A and B are shown apart, each in its own frame.
Chain A
Amino acid sequence: MRVAVQEEAFELGAVAEDFAQANNSAGAIVTFTGIVRDAPQGGLVAMEIEHYPGMTLKALNEIAQTAMERWSLADALVIHRYGRLAPGEQIMMVATAARHRKDAFEAAEYLMDYLKSRAPFWKKEILNDGATDWVAARGADEDALNRW
């Protein structure tokens, strides 16, 4: 299991390949990648991601550890970036390895749901007219935790 909080970009292909190689007896591997998308009204110049350095790694480790135990995962990986990102850049990724795909998919969804609402990151949209907008948490994201 590995979690990382970093400013620099990651090579999705290389990271996914390494994860697959390290878990080549697992049977099922799922990866998910989050990408910076345009603002609802368009005109996004950048997404600034702030985090709480003292708490972030701790929170990610707890979330990943819970997933490892609950779905008997062979391995789990979480990478989450912070700082100023351009549209189209990769924000974060998760990868899970399990004997069967159901566990790998479910654990990846669990990781995503908890990263959304329980990992101390905040996103601010920088628009081309100079306006800035903190992305609001959605009620649906909080509700999504209840299914676990």
Chain B
Amino acid sequence: MEVLYFAWVRERIGLPRERVETSATTVADLVRELCAREDRYAAAFADLSAVRVALDQELSDFDAPLQGVREVAFFPPMTGG
């Protein structure tokens, strides 16, 4: 699946998007997998209350299943307007 990062999540991880091969079944599992990879992921996901997730461009949550999902995006709370 494609994993996208925005704003300071992107800056901490150091890239805007990447293709991830994963067997994670939920968003939380995916986050755990990423954090185990490298410190920069652990730094970006240190406080999950400050991170939001969208699945296929719809706002979702960390308990959500990943089955059938093609695009996961992680970002801070939005500040539009």
Contact = CB atoms under 8 A, between A and B. Distances in A.
Most buried by A among B8, B57, B79: B79
Contacts of B79: 116, 121-123, 135-137
Secondary structure class of chain A's binding surface, majority of residues: mixed
Contacts of A54: 57, 71
Interface residues of B, number: 17
Interface of B: 4, 6-8, 54, 57-59, 71, 73, 75-81
Contact of B81 (A34, A55, A142): A34
B7 A122 contact: yes
Nearest to A113: B81
B80 A121 contact: yes
Contact of B77 (A52, A59, A80, A137): A137
Contacts of A120: 6, 54, 75, 78, 80
Interface of A: 34, 50, 52, 54-55, 58-59, 80, 91-92, 112, 115-124, 134-137, 142
